[in-house]
Amino acid sequence: MSNPAVLGVDSSTQSCKVEIRDLATGRLLGSGSSPHPPAFPPVAEQHPNEWVAAFVAATGMAMAACDQRPEIRAISVAAQCHGMVLLDEHGDVLRAAKLWNDTTGAPNLTRLVDRIGARRWVMRIGTLPTAAFTIAKLAWVAENEPRLLDRLATILLPHDYLTYWLTGEKVTDRSDASGTGYFDATDGLWIPSYLELAAGSREWAATLPTVLGPADAAGTVLPARAEQLGIGADVLVGAGGGDQHAAYLGLGLTDGDLYFSIGTSGVVATSSRGPVFDTTGAVDGVADMTGGYLPLMSTLNAARVVDRAAVLLGTDLAGISALALAAGPTQGPVVAPFLDGERTPDRPDARGAIADVTSRTTREELARAFVEGPLLSLMSGRDSLADCGVDTSGAATVVGGGARSPATLQLLADLLGDEVTVPDVDEATARGACIQAAAVASRTDRAGLVDLAKRWHPDARARVTPRAHGRDLGALRTRWAQLAASPVLEGGAQ
């Protein structure tokens, strides 16, 4: 007898990851992963057909990994935020999708901020958009590929597109919509007038997807898609959501808990019941996947900084971690980790920098500086959350590829002066998508979704406490802030 199960999808910049979980218990039954083509700023693009191919391949792997064939009752898709997918009247993709880390729209975004007004924009949507946001990408297309917009019928986000591929329905959710630059999450309304300012006058409202609630069903999987995926008929599909939003849901975290995601990008976030409006632009007051809000600070440069350090110091990631942990109780060099521009602070043309190198600087200190640089960015983000009146007193949870680095965990615990926990979860985003899918399959409401997330709360894989390190971390943070704000970082050589 087959197990009733749900399928959760994480379509990230790097790959598509799929988890299949038991509908009743949340137990992992099988998983699979398939890569996406690499994409790097300033022009970071992928064709949605490549997401579909990876989704199909990853689902096949996950199904094959199950001990017995599961009966999939519902699917939910989470994916990278801010990307832009343009469809024509037939539902065909007009061009490769611009991804969140495509920064070509930075000049367009600057002009839009001047037109709309930074404070007005923040107070309307909760966020001051950067070049990562969908509206900047649309403005770039309007300027550089204007004839394309004459054929435009629909604007979707990456997770919306995969939901559309599954169901034929053009829908989205609050979490991902709130990262476009033209959605008011508090009132639940699109803002077509902002699109007019970005890309000219047309019937923008008709191009935008329907925004569903946290536990709403988008529809059922089309028969042809079900056959491609190797699943049965009448499978429900949830509204989906943004990747970080799904990860927070998947970890069962609550208001005040600190969520650190250290992957290609870096994120620090917590949840709140009320909206957050940060006129400095540091905090994105986006919506979450439960009907509340997920104020967060996001950076472009996180784990990739350590990857580059491994190359420069002639070692591997394990070697960098060992070197960083072996550094003595010195202040040492400081790294501003803006290798490929930066999103927060909004410096798309910035470059990385190393300061305070002396004739006594060691490889160990350099390694530590490269590991600490992205963490200091995230600590700045935590301060920004607190400055907005958001509760950040809860426990710290770390996910992402960076959580596999002992040095990253230890240095973060040192900076926080508190314990950090690594949950026993390989794919928090796919897990969160599974939770939403389970709520849809159970036909529950928002409250039922939240209760389900708490019941599926994962155990801890590791806990790391602060060391008696002998360093003045307050002075280190002050020095980092000075370097990060330096105009010298702008416009360096490639």
Q: How many CB atoms lie within 10 A of CB 378?
A: 25
Average pLDDT over residues 409-423: 98
Residue 166 and residue 103 share a domain = yes
CATH for 259? 3.30.420.40
SS (H, E, C) the chain: CCCEEEEEEEECCCEEEEEEEECCCCCEEEEEEEECCCCCCCCCEECHHHHHHHHHHHHHHHHHHCCCCCEEEEEEEEECCCCEEEECCCCCECCCEECCCCCCCHHHHHHHHHHHCHHHHHHHHCCCCCCCCHHHHHHHHHHHCHHHHCCCCEEECHHHHHHHHHHCCCEEEHHHHCCCCCEECCCCEECHHHHHHHHCCCCHHHHCCEEECCCCEEEECCHHHHHHHCCCCCCEEECCEEHHHHHHHHCCCCCCCEEEEECCCEEEECCECCCCCCCCCCCEEEECCCCCEEEEEEECCCHHHHHHHHHHCCCCHHHHHHHHHHCCCCCCCEEECCECEECCCCECCECCEEECCCCCCCHHHHHHHHHHHHHHHHHHHHHHHHHCCCCCCCCEEEECHHHHCHHHHHHHHHHHCCCEEEECCCCHHHHHHHHHHHHHHCCCCHHHHHHHHHHCCCCEEEEECCCCCCCCHHHHHHHHHHHHCCHHHECCCC
**Against a cut of 0.95, is the pTM above it?**
no
Distance separating alpha carbons of residues 248 and 428, to the nearest angstrom: 8
Contact 360, 384 (CB under 8 A): no
Q: What is the mean pLDDT of the segment spanning 415-441?
A: 96
Mean pLDDT of 186-192: 96
43 and 171 both lie in a single domain? yes
221, 452 Cβ separation under 8 angstroms: no
| 99 and 202 co-located in one domain | yes
* Residues 204 and 273 occupy one common structural domain: no
Residue 493 clears pLDDT 70, i.e. is over it: no
Please indicate whether residue 472 is annotated as part of the active site.
no
Q: Return the structure tokens found at 265.
A: 């990008």
> Each residue of 17-61: pLDDT tens digit?
999 999 999 999 999 999 999 998 899 999 999 999 999 999 999
Number of domains in the chain: 2
Note down the domain range covering 385.
252-424+459-494
| Same-domain status, 206 and 191 | yes
Q: Closest Cα to residue 22, out of 37, 5, 39?
A: 5
Pair (234, 261) in one structural domain: no
Q: Do 156 and 82 fall within a single domain?
A: yes
Q: Is residue 448 part of a domain?
A: no
Task: Give me the chain's average pLDDT, please.
Answer: 95
Quick one: pLDDT at residue 383? 97
Q: Are 179 and 286 in contact (CB under 8 A)?
A: yes
Percentage with pLDDT > 90 across the chain: 91
* The predicted structure's pLDDT at residue 1: 52
Burial state string for 291-305 with b = 16 or more CB within 10 A and e = fewer than 16: bbbbbbbbbbbbbbb
The verdict on 151 and 14 lying in the same domain is yes
**Do 346 and 273 lie in a common domain?**
yes
Give a yes or no: residue 435 inside a domain: no
- Res. 450: pLDDT tops 60: yes
Which pLDDT score is estimated for 145? 98
Do 234 and 258 share a domain, yes or no? no
Select from 195, 221, 245 the last residue of a domain.
Answer: 245
Q: Are 319 and 466 in the same domain?
A: yes
Query: Is 263 part of a structural domain of the chain?
Result: yes
Model confidence over 211-257: pLDDT tens digits?
A: 999 999 999 999 999 999 999 999 999 999 999 899 999 999 999 99
385 lies in the same domain as 408 = yes
Contact (Cβ atoms closer than 8 angstroms) between residue 369 and residue 333: yes
Task: Give the type of residue at 40.
Answer: F
| C-beta separation of 270 from 257 below 8 A | yes
Given 216, 245, 274, the domain boundary residue is 245
Question: What's at 228, amino acid-wise?
Answer: Q
- Return phi, psi of residue 21, to 5°: -125, 150
Please give the structure tokens belonging to residue 260: 């650190």
Domain boundary among 227, 245, 263: 245
449 in any annotated domain = no
- 416 is a domain residue: yes
Q: Is residue 447 part of a domain?
A: no
Q: Residue 445 domain-assigned?
A: no
Burial of 62 (0-12, 13-18, 19+ CB in 10 A): buried
Does residue 434 form part of some domain?
Answer: no
Distance CA 490, CA 487 (A): 6
Which candidate in 102, 173, 243, 340 is catalytic? 243
* Average pLDDT rounded to a whole number, residues 128-153: 96
pLDDT at 12: 94
